Amino acid sequence: MSRFLISLFTMLVCAMPASVLAVTLGSGNPHFQNASLAIVRGRAVCLDSAGREVQSPFGCNETGSRFGFASQDGKLYKFLPTDTMTTVFTDSRVRQRQLQLTARLHSGDQLEIIKVQSIKEGKLYDIYYFCDVCTITSYTPGLCPCCRNEMEFRETPQQ
């Protein structure tokens, strides 16, 4: 019975940020008024302390790196410092894929991620992490908040 309550509590806590975000976005927050929606294709890159792309595949310190996004047309975007969705790029499997980002484009060519998808053979795939034990989905890698097992990386065709 207690495992059920822990699972229920965890699902409610995990669902809370999405509902808070929806309320924040709909409330006329000035933070979002100067942003436009952007869909950008390219790949995630690691940035050095000066904000330039790190060319070496070994130059990315996965725990403390800053990430950017190199578009197919050669433009380098940076992410808002407050964007917690960039933790998906700590997974080298994600950085190795061609990606499509749906994001808010802020002034200064800064992105704020809404959705990250991979592109395979011209088709879009949703990227996420899943715990089979607890049936919990996350959009960032790490341990399951319930059972503490490693979340499994998954890609499924966009529906």
| pLDDT in 10s for each residue of the chain, 159 residues | 444 434 433 343 333 332 222 223 333 444 445 569 999 999 999 988 888 888 765 557 655 678 999 999 999 999 998 999 999 999 999 999 999 999 999 987 899 999 999 999 999 999 999 999 999 999 999 999 999 999 999 999 998
pLDDT of residue 107: 85
pLDDT of residue 56: 64
Question: Check: CATH 2.40.50 for 33-118?
Answer: yes
pLDDT of residue 61: 64
pLDDT of residue 64: 60
d(CA 52, CA 45) in angstroms, rounded, equals 9
pLDDT of residue 50: 82
pLDDT of residue 68: 94
pLDDT of residue 22: 27
**Which residue bears the tokens 């002034």?**
107
SS3 38: strand
CB 17 within 8 A of CB 44: no
d(CA 144, CA 148) in angstroms, rounded, equals 5
HEC profile for 68-137?
Answer: EEEECCCCEEEECCCCHHHHHHHCHHHHCCCEEEEEEEECCCEEEEEEEEEEECCEEEEEEEEECCCCEE
d(CA 76, CA 74) in angstroms, rounded, equals 7
d(CA 122, CA 61) in angstroms, rounded, equals 30
CB 129 within 8 A of CB 92: no
pTM: 0.73
